[in-house]
């Protein structure tokens, strides 16, 4: 893009602003200002003049803030401008992404700061939290799912009519898939696609067995880049296993039935591995007395890797509470009740855990009502929750590099990363925290 010297004048709500085409070009092609340029990013002239006044019937105070953002890359909101009003105006001009980028930077677990804590309005404690792709989130409370946009404004809740929610996953910023328990005596439960904006049910994902639709409990969820949705399924007879649907049409396209002596239908966690085109399925204690972790290849309906603690002497120090696959190192990371990390090699057909003990640091520090640790992997960093904190591990040896902590609300029962934010849900007080990376300073 060449240097633009065309001056542009705006009359916004009666106030006159003057800027340059170069500054406006920073807004991007998809903004309102993008329409003022031709295909070569030259300002489209009007009647041969180089300075033209454009009238916009909008808020001038907000326009001043947004124009300064385009000039400097920094966002400064004066006290007389409500943030919600500024966001509304940014949406009108097509600058909402610029505002978000200026408020928080690219995600880095070692640079996170507590931005806010949000008290939910629903009675009872939350059970699960899932980060949305645009910086929002959804929180499950029993049979309700409360949806928040990136400004932490709550949308109409999603109600599942007294069916307990098991998991949720975002398809995009407008749609969320929710799995729920079957209600005995009624053909309900399973999985549905809902609007995150209105809470409306758009369609259900049904399970068929021998050409008959079956009632079932939907469990852990995952999807891949080919628009396939995966869910653990627990039916009344033979419908135990992993169902697969086309997430665009809602039609069932496959089903991996649970082998005898193994556990798939009650899995706690699913994770699609893009490099190997396999699905990690983990059923963990205390849902089952034993733990089962396996990799499924749907191309030939095979179990290409597996591990279980059946037959092993079990103590609390060695019970697996969560698991996550790490494709770059071709391993599976697991965690126990004391936040000890263990690793299993995916290059071996049958796994064995190599523990990296840190339990001596944690024993004697357990809270009265601890929550089981959870794991997450994001952009080369490993995250593990324990009591009221989340540990961040970095580097090839997964060294502890930072810890996030907020004691208010009790232990962390779940956390999720997405939209350049980390959300942590506490087990008490119906509260969740929003962690963000500070934006990089503009030189």
* Separation between Cα atoms, residue 280 and residue 240, nearest integer Å: 16
Residue 211 confidence (pLDDT):
81
Taking residues 402-417, what's their average pLDDT? 91
pLDDT tens by residue, 348-407: 877 688 888 654 444 445 555 568 899 999 999 999 999 899 999 999 989 999 999 987
Check residue 361 and give its pLDDT: 46
Question: Which has more pLDDT, 315 or 250?
Answer: 250
pLDDT for 267 equals 95
Lowest-confidence range among 65-74, 202-211, 298-307? 202-211
**How far apart are alpha carbons 256 and 308 in whole angstroms?**
19
Rounded to an integer, what distance in angstroms lies between the CA atom of residue 347 and that of residue 350?
Answer: 9
Tens-place pLDDT, residues 182-201: 876 566 678 999 999 999 99
Instruction: Look at the chain and count its residues.
Output: 443
**Six token digits for residue 325:** 């696959």
Distance (Å, whole) CA 214 – CA 54: 61
Q: Categorize the per-residue pLDDT at 161 as very low, low, confident or very high, splitting at 50, 70 and 90.
A: confident
Q: State mean pLDDT over 13-28.
A: 92
Query: Cα–Cα distance between 151 and 424 in angstroms, integer?
Result: 16
CA atoms within 13 A on the CB side of 93: 31
Question: Among 30-39, 264-273, 333-342, where is mean pLDDT lowest?
Answer: 30-39
Taking the mean position of all CA atoms in its chain, how far away is CA 161?
24
Q: Model-level pTM?
A: 0.86
pLDDT of residue 286: 82
What mean pLDDT comes out for the span 238-246? 90
Whether pLDDT at 43 is above 80: no
Mean pLDDT, rounded, of the chain = 87
Predicted local confidence at residue 364, as pLDDT: 46
Task: Give just the sign of the alpha carbon dihedral 196, 198, 199, 203.
Answer: negative
Please answer whether residues 236 and 256 qualify as being in contact, where contact means their C-beta atoms are separated by less than 8 angstroms. Answer: no
Q: Which residues pair with 114 in a beta bridge?
A: 435
Name every residue whose Cβ is closer than 8 Å to that of residue 388 and which is 6 or more positions away in sequence.
367, 405, 406, 407, 409, 410, 411, 412, 426
83-93 and 96-103 helices, crossing angle to 10°: 130
Task: Say yes or no to pLDDT of 6 above 70.
Answer: yes
Tokens of 64: 């001043």
Q: What is the pLDDT of residue 1?
A: 44
What pLDDT is attached to residue 359?
A: 43
The answer to whether residue 123 scores a pLDDT higher than 60 is no
Give the angle subtended at the CA of 21 by the CAs of 69 and 439, to the nearest 5°: 20
Is a pLDDT exceeding 80 seen at residue 347?
yes
pLDDT recorded at residue 368: 54
Q: How far is CA 157 from the centre of its chain?
A: 18
Beta strands in 13-155 (DSSP E): 15-20, 52-56, 112-119, 128-131, 137-141, 144-148
Distance CA 307, CA 289 (A): 14
Asked if the model's pLDDT at residue 50 lies above 60, the reply is: no
Task: Decide: 368 and 380 in contact? Cβ < 8 Å.
Answer: no
pLDDT given for residue 288 in this prediction: 85
Asked whether residue 167 carries a pLDDT value surpassing 90, the answer given is: yes
Q: What is the 3-state secondary structure (H, E, C) of 277-324?
A: CEEEEEECCCCCCCCEEEEEECCCCEEEEEEECCCCCCCHHHCCCEEE
Peptide bond into 286 cis (omega under 30): yes
């Amino acid at each position: 893009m060449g240097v633009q010297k065309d001056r542009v004048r705006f009359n916004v709500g009666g106030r006159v602003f003057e800027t340059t085409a170069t500054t406006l070009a920073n807004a991007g092609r998809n903004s309102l200002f993008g329409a003022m340029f031709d295909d070569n990013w030259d300002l489209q002239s009007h009647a041969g003049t180089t300075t033209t006044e454009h009238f916009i019937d909008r808020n001038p105070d907000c326009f001043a803030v947004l124009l300064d953002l385009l000039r400097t890359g920094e966002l400064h909101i004066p006290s007389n401008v409500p943030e919600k009003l500024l966001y509304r105006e940014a949406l009108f001009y097509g600058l909402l992404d610029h505002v978000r980028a200026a408020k928080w930077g690219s995600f880095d677990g070692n640079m996170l700061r507590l931005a806010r804590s949000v008290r939910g309005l629903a009675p009872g404690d939350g059970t699960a939290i899932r980060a949305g792709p645009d910086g929002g989130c959804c929180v499950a409370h029993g049979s309700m799912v409360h949806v928040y946009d990136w400004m932490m404004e709550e949308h109409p809740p999603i109600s599942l009519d007294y069916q307990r929610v098991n998991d949720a996953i975002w398809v995009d910023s407008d749609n969320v898939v929710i799995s729920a328990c079957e209600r005995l005596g009624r053909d309900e439960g399973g999985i549905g696609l809902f609007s995150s904006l209105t809470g409306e049910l758009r369609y259900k994902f049904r399970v068929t067995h021998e050409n008959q639709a079956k009632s079932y409990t939907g469990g852990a969820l995952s999807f891949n880049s080919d628009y396939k949705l995966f869910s653990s399924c627990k039916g009344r007879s033979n419908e135990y296993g992993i169902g697969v649907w086309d997430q665009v049409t809602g039609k069932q396209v496959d089903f991996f039935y649970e082998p005898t002596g193994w556990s798939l239908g009650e899995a706690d966690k699913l994770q699609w591995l893009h490099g190997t085109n396999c699905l990690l399925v983990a059923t963990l204690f205390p849902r089952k007395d034993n733990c089962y972790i396996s990799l499924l290849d749907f191309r030939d309906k095979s179990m290409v890797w597996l591990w279980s603690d059946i037959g092993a002497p079990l103590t609390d120090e060695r019970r697996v509470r969560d698991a996550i696959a790490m494709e770059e190192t071709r391993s599976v990371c697991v965690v126990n009740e004391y936040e000890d990390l263990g690793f299993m090699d995916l290059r071996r057909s049958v796994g064995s855990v190599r523990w990296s003990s840190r339990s001596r640091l944690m024993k004697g520090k357990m809270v009265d009502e601890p929550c089981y640790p959870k794991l997450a992997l994001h952009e080369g960093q490993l995250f593990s929750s324990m009591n009221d904190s989340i540990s961040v591990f970095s580097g090839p040896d997964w060294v502890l590099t930072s810890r996030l902590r907020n004691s208010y609300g009790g232990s962390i029962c779940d956390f999720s990363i997405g939209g350049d934010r980390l959300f942590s849900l506490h087990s008490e007080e119906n509260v969740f925290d929003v962690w963000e990376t500070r934006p990089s300073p503009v030189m």
